[in-house]
Amino acid sequence: MPEHLVVEREVTLLDLLDRILDKGVIISGDITISVANVDLIYLGLRLLLTSVDNLEAIRTGIPALPATPGQA
- pLDDT tens across 19-64, in order? 888 888 888 999 999 999 899 999 999 988 888 888 788 788 776 6
Q: What is the per-residue burial (b if ≥16 Cβ within 10 Å, else e) of 39-59?
A: eeeeeeeeeeebbeebeeeee
Please check whether residue 66 lies inside any domain of the structure. no
CB 30 within 8 A of CB 11: no
Q: Is the pLDDT of residue 10 over 80?
A: yes
Number of domains composing the chain: 1
Query: Does residue 72 lie within any of the structural domains?
Result: no
> Is 65 part of any domain?
no
Biggest alpha carbon distance in the chain? 61
- Whether 19 maps to a domain, the answer reads yes
pLDDT of residue 25: 86
Q: Which domain holds residue 52?
A: 13-60
pLDDT of residue 33: 93
Residue 66: predicted pLDDT? 62
**Separation between Cα atoms, residue 57 and residue 20, nearest integer Å:** 16
What is the pTM assigned to this prediction? 0.48
Q: Is residue 6 part of a domain?
A: no
What's the pLDDT at 35? 93
